[in-house]
A and B are shown apart, each in its own frame.
Chain A
Amino acid sequence: MIQNTGISLKQKNMIKHSSCRFGLIKPSLIAGILIIVCFSINAQSSNQSEKALTTSTNTFGFSTINMLDSYLSPLKYSGSGFRYENDNRKFVSPENISLSKENHFKMNFGLTENPAQTSEMWYLGMNFSWGMHHHFYINENLLLLAGCLWDLDFMGKTNSRNQNNPFNIDLGTNLNLSGEAVYRIRTPKRMLRLGFSMQAPFIGVMFVPEQGASYYEIFELQNFSNTLHFTSLHNKLSLTENLSLDIPFNHTTLRFGFRNENLKFEANQMIFKRNDLSFHVGYIYDFYKFEGTKNRAPSGFNSTYNY
């Protein structure tokens, strides 16, 4: 979005400068030039249809985490970890800039300890999500997005000290409501982009073992009874908030941000909780994907694959 807007503003400025110069040139010459320009513009339009670029964001973060997993321990564990996130978003069609589709991949891992620091719990989480957002252009600086995301969520936790319940898996799939606000801040040198997004699941399915069941019984004896649960606001509450600031530089656009994830769910008379606060840094770029036989790269694009 930033780059698209940047280009259009640049074009406007060029036209403005050009018209100033045009005032000094003879009318016949102007008419001739205009005809040539019009023809060239027509020629360009007919050769190049609009393309929807994919905006990709990669962020790396450091988080502090608190978690309660009643299957593994009745105590709250706290610690820190790392996270990586890749987001891709593009308009559904180049002509329709009010609807975008996107996919996200998140990964985080880290180490937590019990309050007495006598036991450690490792965690590794992954989340894949796909969805769409509707774009509401409130004014030239403010953009609001509302949409829906479907996700697959996984977090494995292991408490190596435990016997017969040494690990647990938070496994679920959710339909999430998602909202985002973007505000462009114009400074003399560059245009910053301040973003705030929120996401919350409202319906889904999750896996939760029964409190006395060993993983031997669940996985080796394959007794999955009462481990799958329908989820909604009555037994699963989660809110992810993300505050970010994008700063464009000469050759890259960097993102700095904070993320706050709160998750709490209940099943089989056990409570599970996770609070994750992270600071992240990332970079943003737009790209266009050439693939297959119908969407091959035009001449001028070299590829090691299609050499």
Chain B
Amino acid sequence: MKKHIILLSFLGMLFHSCMDEPVIQPNSYEGNFNALWEIIDSKYCYLDYKNIDWDSIYTAYHQRIPYIKTDLDFFDFLGKMLEELKDGHVNLYSGFDVSRYWKWYTDYPENFSSDIIYSDRYLGENYRIAGGMRYQKIDNGNIGYIYYGDFTSDFSGTNIGYIFKYFSNCKGIILDVRNNGGGYMSGAEQLASYFFTEKTLTGYLCHKTGPGHTDFSTPIKLFTPANKNVQWLRPVVILTNRMTYSATNDFVNRMRKAPYAIILGDKTGGGGGMPLSSEIPNGWMVRVPTSPMFDANMQHIEWGIDPDINIALKPEDAARGYDTLIERAVALIKFL
């Protein structure tokens, strides 16, 4: 009996040791720094792809910790370390600030003017709104123009059906997703589905499975289905700029395979990694991409998607109240 008790106790200890709990860093500058560094080291999906030597970044930044005196300084210090990842999806959230990396669009021409698209030449004052989409007929009613600036604005098949019906006499439509910083991935898939005639492979997705930099799941195929009820089977030109990011980047990637679609404008901003949230001991939240997305050829879309026609907003056109991209899209649709 005594032997059995000892054996059971031993087994119990063995089982417990198999499930060692992760070490929670203390809530100090040192502890929070280590916690953040470990989160990135174990979860961030682009360390190898971007050739980032995260260990050397630890060494470079760790030595600066003793000189940090305030929480504000500490926040800026951690934000600076996260900037090394060059990723717009990586943010640190505190009660007083949000760290961000915006160079993916601030280092490039904007190629978009809100004043111009809301001028009488395009949307004007009497544009219509359905499911977050602002739409109007332009070029004497020959072309439909839709501006969609946020993939967190829900829309339905009914919304899209009304819009397409409104444009039923148009030769083609322009779908402007410039300055659309993303939102729901499901929205990207849904919007793309109205321009497909059959279910099409448009990309791949995988995710981190462990702390190793190469611990990834087997990529799964991302299909874009064809909507059964509403389809636009005429030319559609997608307008992009560097602020076309995240879920919108995924939308553009899908539209590359749509049969009547042309991508026009600047390269998109990218943001191909789907971010999950984590936190450090002082309660600051960090957003970290863990799921890289790829195009149909298994190429990363983290750095953006090249348009079919690369064109910039010309200052002289802008001075006249013309949007070079829209004008080119109108000409293109008329030509097709």
Contact = CB atoms under 8 A, between A and B. Distances in A.
Interface of A: 68, 70, 73-76, 114-119, 159, 161-166, 210-214, 216-217, 220-221, 223, 225-226, 233-235, 237, 264-266, 268-269, 271, 273
Contact of B205 (A116, A162, A217, A233): A217
A254 to B, nearest CB: 36
Given A116-B283, A117-B283, A164-B274, 20 more contacts: A114-B279, A161-B285, A162-B276, A163-B277, A165-B277, A210-B209, A211-B43, A212-B43, A212-B276, A212-B290, A212-B291, A220-B185, A221-B222, A234-B18, A235-B18, A235-B19, A269-B209, A269-B210, A271-B20, A273-B21
Nearest to B285: A161
B276 A164 contact: yes
A214 B275 CA distance: 8
Interface in B250-301: 274-279, 281-285, 287, 290-291
A115 B207 contact: no
B22 interface: yes
Given A74-B24, A216-B186, A210 B217 contact: yes
A14 to B, nearest CB: 46
B220 interface: yes
Contacts of B285: 118-119, 161-162
A68 B209 contact: no
A73 B15 CA distance: 24
11 contacts: A70-B22, A116-B283, A211-B208, A212-B207, A212-B208, A212-B209, A216-B185, A217-B207, A217-B220, A268-B209, A271-B22
A118 B284 contact: yes
A118 B275 contact: no
B35 interface: yes
B27 A164 contact: no
Contacts of A269: 209-211
A150 B210 CA distance: 32
B19 A264 contact: yes
Interface string B202-225: 000101111100000110101000
A165 B18 contact: no
Contacts of B16: 237
The 8 closest A-B pairs by CB, nearest first: A116-B283, A212-B208, A118-B283, A212-B290, A162-B277, A212-B207, A165-B276, A266-B19
A213 B208 CA distance: 7
A73 B35 CA distance: 12
B19 A265 contact: yes
B222 to A, nearest CB: 7
A214 B278 CA distance: 13
A166 to B, nearest CB: 8
A161 B43 CA distance: 18
A213 B291 contact: yes
Given A213-B207, A216-B186, A271 B283 contact: no
A118 B22 contact: no
A163 B275 contact: yes
